[in-house]
Structure 1
């Protein structure tokens, strides 16, 4: 079997393994069949009319901008990746440092990503203006620019390192590079999952332990009751950037910690905070991070194998102005193919995410037994985070990573009926 055909077979096998994991590990059914069927979501989620109007207005201002940014960034990536323009750019930016292939990969990656960020920067500015107008963002413009710069630097460093490894493997093992690269991609996904809480999170926020008190005691006891003890309860200085409410659990084993946005402490009663944390602890109980890491590893490995097949297609390389897969000028083409793959995978990822988030909602209800706190918390989150309670179906199908507020409140009603409390 030729290396090209083997790459395609490997991509198909890994893709099938990914689909199998998705099918087997995604919680498709959460509650037993109920007499009369499930509760029909109220499009307004029972929220005051003014709250609904504000959320719809906010979404109406941002959705076109989000689509424009997506289309524009993909168009720029296509122009640079599918024409010799990108190849010439990669060579040009490396020329002052001698033009070696390592500099072409690293500086070419930085240049391509920076151009993409600059082209969409006006849209990002508009989005931040809208968030300020609706009092969702509290960031100063210097802090916003700092966040944009740090995000670009991290993205360029990680992407550049990954592409450098990829091109090195192609040059080192010209026929079977994709097999080694697929294994490396899967390993990087696993390593990244463990390093994210200790490397990426501190780049944007600082964390302080929640002072001793009843809430801290209750949250630690909730984690113990859940069978997932945590090392600490931390407070993130999220209010420097946003008024949004959120919490999460990060880390593994002895490094696991509950993280609360400081905005929660001022605006939510303790029982609603506990409901949010119970939801996050549900992700830990069900090994959602590990399952997501497995899916990500299989997806990354399959994508690299497919890349091995695509990069053996001479017309594609010729269109990009590249001599061979090991030519460092292949960077713009690689970034374009990654962008397309990410876009194609988005609705699949979000489908799984919505089901996983619904299971975490179920876990929160089971763990706390407090549907009233859950409902009040969801209503408060929707109002404060300016969430459209019932977004357009197509939009939610493609971009929605969580159930809508209307769906979550209907689910709480169904939980009460399943528990015999209705």
Structure 2
């Protein structure tokens, strides 16, 4: 007995995923030539080194995706999901929601057992290249904390999903969209206070020179930046980064301590200007609104698939094995929609790069920052066009430099 009937939508989702996977693998193995412009900033040895690192990282990523996809297809299209649901129904004595939770736990363990070797190997690669300084004990502690959070949140979501779909068979997806959209905003509000501190320590910036930079950028950007923190990233990594987070009064800029330790003052100021641009343009709020729209579309498609491809007698509860269908759909749609999601992200980053130049009144420090980041963090300065289009949340280094060079410097007031 099969759980689902194949439909055009399933064939389309799988076909797009296979096409993207094949192209991703091809351009990972055969990335092509680097633009001559890249050699203005980087030596051939630096470019070759970064390409070697990214070749390995990309192979790990696509191998993990393909292995999980094949398992989900086999488990869902074959008899695996039905057999597991019968087993959980038996040990739960037919109690529907207990069986659903047990199904989720066993299924979650299978998926994590499959992805764990890839996550572990990725960590080993980062250690080898000098990016991660975590020992295995620390890595396992982080992994277990993340797993416990995931299983708790996903387990609760599983119960809510089955409750909603059995109570409101035709409109559950609308209720789910409203709930998930609210949770998207709630998560954004509570993450800095409840979740992030489980993994890192955050302290207010106290360095007078950094505070002066923040004041200068605030004035130039026409905003009041009053929340800049330092994160102890050096506990785990040698790589530098920063990010903007929050909405409204919850806004804050977080700087990695590795950035403050390893980069000169003018480049740190360029980072602050970039994050201030995200603040000025409300990019987090815009991302959350777009995320809500994406959830609406995805849930509507999932509703149509469940309604048309699962044998589900009216008046009865949704088969528990359908949870595997939900995971398969979510996994494929997330992968297939990556180019659109990443395109939007790159446009926001491009806007932030342009605005940062006007806040700095200087292009050189912004270009220096991109060059130094690429050299120290082994960024692929000129990846294959498909790889950038498909998987890059930020423009490539070369494209960022070109954007900064073309940006206009506004006159100082």
> What TM-score comes out, normalization by structure 1 length?
0.82
Task: Determine the C-alpha separation between the residues in 1 that align with 2:334 and 2:302.
Answer: 13
Evaluate the alpha carbon distance shift between residue 272 and residue 138 of structure 1 in structure 2; reply closer, same or farther with a 3 A threshold. Answer: same
**Is residue 62 of structure 1 aligned with residue 66 of structure 2?**
no
Evaluate the alpha carbon distance shift between residue 158 and residue 173 of structure 1 in structure 2; reply closer, same or farther with a 3 A threshold. Answer: same
Give the superposition deviation at 1:311.
Answer: 0.9
SS of 1:208 mapped into structure 2: strand
Give the superposition deviation at 1:289.
Answer: 1.1
Give the superposition deviation at 1:216.
Answer: 2.3
Match of 2:342 among 340, 343, 350: 350
Evaluate the alpha carbon distance shift between residue 239 and residue 98 of structure 1 in structure 2; reply closer, same or farther with a 3 A threshold. Answer: farther
Per-residue CA deviations over 1:128-178 (Å, capped at 9, x if unaligned) read 221111101111111111222222222222223223222111111223323
Per-residue CA deviations over 1:263-286 (Å, capped at 9, x if unaligned) read 011111122111111111111211
Task: Determine the C-alpha separation between the residues in 1 that align with 2:171 and 2:228.
Answer: 47
**Is residue 216 of structure 1 aligned with residue 211 of structure 2?**
yes
Task: Determine the C-alpha separation between the residues in 2 that align with 1:350 and 1:140.
Answer: 32
> What TM-score comes out, normalization by structure 2 length?
0.84
Whether the aligned pair in 1 keeps the contact of 2:361 and 2:410 (CA below 8 Å) is no
Match of 1:226 among 200, 221, 226: 221
Whether the aligned pair in 2 keeps the contact of 1:248 and 1:280 (CA below 8 Å) is yes
**Is residue 141 of structure 1 aligned with residue 136 of structure 2?**
yes
Match of 1:286 among 281, 287, 298: 281
Whether the aligned pair in 1 keeps the contact of 2:245 and 2:284 (CA below 8 Å) is no
Partner of 1:246: 241
Unaligned runs of 5+ in 1: 1-39
Range that drifts further, 102-111 or 206-215: 102-111
Partner of 1:333: 325
**Is residue 317 of structure 1 aligned with residue 277 of structure 2?**
no
Residues 148-159 of structure 1: matches in 2 within 5 Å?
148-159=143-154
Partner of 2:110: 115
Per-residue CA deviations over 1:339-397 (Å, capped at 9, x if unaligned) read 11111111110111111111110011111112111011111111111111011121111
Evaluate the alpha carbon distance shift between residue 343 and residue 268 of structure 1 in structure 2; reply closer, same or farther with a 3 A threshold. Answer: same
Whether the aligned pair in 1 keeps the contact of 2:229 and 2:253 (CA below 8 Å) is yes
Partner of 1:389: 381
Task: Report the RMSD for the aligned CA atoms in angstroms.
Answer: 2.6
Residues 22-421 of structure 1: matches in 2 within 5 Å?
42-44=37-39, 46-90=41-85, 92=87, 100-313=95-308, 316-318=309-311, 326-415=318-407
SS of 1:276 mapped into structure 2: helix
SS of 2:203 mapped into structure 1: strand
Task: Determine the C-alpha separation between the residues in 1 that align with 2:91 and 2:265.
Answer: 59
Give the superposition deviation at 1:90.
Answer: 4.4
Evaluate the alpha carbon distance shift between residue 223 and residue 67 of structure 1 in structure 2; reply closer, same or farther with a 3 A threshold. Answer: same
Task: Determine the C-alpha separation between the residues in 1 that align with 2:316 and 2:36.
Answer: 54
Evaluate the alpha carbon distance shift between residue 294 and residue 54 of structure 1 in structure 2; reply closer, same or farther with a 3 A threshold. Answer: same
Evaluate the alpha carbon distance shift between residue 360 and residue 77 of structure 1 in structure 2; reply closer, same or farther with a 3 A threshold. Answer: same
Task: Determine the C-alpha separation between the residues in 2 that align with 1:230 and 1:95.
Answer: 58
SS of 2:337 mapped into structure 1: helix
Task: Determine the C-alpha separation between the residues in 1 that align with 2:101 and 2:377.
Answer: 38
Range that drifts further, 163-172 or 379-388: 163-172
Q: Which has the higher contact order (CA 8 A, sep 6+)?
A: 1
Give the superposition deviation at 1:189.
Answer: 2.5
Evaluate the alpha carbon distance shift between residue 81 and residue 364 of structure 1 in structure 2; reply closer, same or farther with a 3 A threshold. Answer: same
Give the superposition deviation at 1:325.
Answer: 6.3
Residues 14-29 of structure 1: matches in 2 within 5 Å?
none
Runs of 4+ in 1 over 6 A off after TM superposition: none
Evaluate the alpha carbon distance shift between residue 79 and residue 147 of structure 1 in structure 2; reply closer, same or farther with a 3 A threshold. Answer: farther
Report the number of matched residues: 377
SS of 1:127 mapped into structure 2: helix
Range that drifts further, 96-105 or 357-366: 96-105
